[in-house]
Amino acid sequence: MYVDRGSGPSGTVLLAGSARAGTTWISDILNYRNEYRYIFEPFHPNRLASTRGFRPRQYLRPENDDPAYLLPATDILSGRVRSVWTDKYNRKRVASRRLVKEVRGNLLLGWISSHFPQVPIILLLRHPCAVVNSQLDLKWNWHLDLGDFLSQAPLMEDHLEPFRDLMSSTTERFDQHVLLWCIENYVPLRQYRPGDVHVAFYEHFCVDPAREIERMFSFLGKPFDPAAMANLSKPSAVSRKTSAIVSGESLVESWRKKVSDEDVARAEELLGAFGLDRIYGADPLPKLDAASGALSGEVSR
């Protein structure tokens, strides 16, 4: 039971990233005072009746005004959605602001910014090998089909046509997951100018948390509060027993023991094809400094 008093999207923050990239952990840090109503992954196409028309990783051109997409997105960002799925982690009973956490919406970010410029967006990046290792470790059926991208003509025309052969010929499961990471981060990074969104690095929350939290809060116009550091050592609601934050292993480097050198090398090749090797390589830490802001200039066009 809760009351959402928000009158529109202007009271909403959107945190986006890859699945298993740490978005739930970062949302706990961001919502350390429980000041936001927490809306969990509302663009999942099988969880809300209003979003059943969305593909699993839908791309929309910024100028697309189709009400089949615009009306559900308006309802989500205005807080006019309720479901067991989206509200299962919410602890705010009377809310005027919302935090939307989404791991399937990276390809929508440019479209969301075009239609809802008042919504600040945080894009969280984590090393693709760490993300893929965590995804595969879950042993879920991820229903990963690169054909879902190949069949979206606007997406291919606008961003991915140079990679058609690579996407069609990649069959190894690990490589396909790395390709997914590349696609869902390459597209939004191409669409934004520096400062349009806040790009945050999971690894920097691990090694220099005060600085990374201060950067994130500054983007949102919030003062840094040391109390936000309290959630750094707390496992998120979706952490597994084998997660590094639970086992006490390094949050940054634990994946290196589970990913072969051959897979790391292949991941570097795929990152290089997209120009994303300027951001991540064989080293667990990102190559870019956290203060570099949005990475538009770091991704080849």
Query: Is the Cβ–Cβ distance between 263 and 253 less than 8 Å?
Result: no
Q: Flag whether pLDDT at 162 surpasses 50.
A: yes
Burial class (CB in 10 A: 0-12, 13-18, 19+), 178: buried
Query: Is the Cβ–Cβ distance between 65 and 116 less than 8 Å?
Result: no
Instruction: Give the C-alpha separation, 258 to 134, whole Å.
Output: 10
Question: Of the candidates 128, 106, 138, which has an alpha carbon nearest to the alpha carbon of residue 239?
Answer: 138
Tokens of 196: 């349009």
Q: Flag whether pLDDT at 292 surpasses 50.
A: no
| Half-sphere exposure of residue 35: CA atoms within 13 angstroms, side-chain side | 10
For domain 3-298, give the CATH superfamily. P-loop containing nucleotide triphosphate hydrolases (3.40.50.300)
Rounded (to 5) percent helix, strand, coil in the chain: 50, 10, 45
Q: Flag whether pLDDT at 257 surpasses 70.
A: yes
Q: What is the dihedral of CA 57, 60, 61, 64, to 10 degrees?
A: 180
pLDDT digits (tens, 9 = 90+) for 9-57: 999 999 999 999 999 999 999 999 999 999 999 998 888 999 999 988 9
Sorted by sequence, the CB contacts under 8 Å of residue 33 that are 6+ apart come out as 225, 227
Residue with tokens 């400094």: 289
pTM: 0.90
Higher pLDDT, 289 or 161: 161
Q: In angstroms, how far apart are the furthest CA atoms of the chain?
A: 52
Count other C-beta atoms under 10 Å from residue 83's C-beta: 15
Helix (H, G, I), strand (E, B) or coil at 248: coil
Q: Flag whether pLDDT at 300 surpasses 70.
A: no
The reported pLDDT for the residue numbered 295 is 53
| Half-sphere exposure of residue 271: CA atoms within 13 angstroms, side-chain side | 19
Q: Flag whether pLDDT at 158 surpasses 90.
A: yes
Domain ranges of the chain: 3-298
pLDDT digits (tens, 9 = 90+) for 64-119: 999 999 999 999 999 999 999 999 999 999 999 999 999 999 999 999 999 999 99
The reported pLDDT for the residue numbered 242 is 47
pLDDT bin (cut points 50, 70, 90) of residue 301 is: very low
pLDDT bin (cut points 50, 70, 90) of residue 135 is: very high
| Half-sphere exposure of residue 200: CA atoms within 13 angstroms, side-chain side | 35
Average pLDDT over residues 158-167: 98
Query: Is the Cβ–Cβ distance between 69 and 151 less than 8 Å?
Result: no
Helix (H, G, I), strand (E, B) or coil at 216: helix
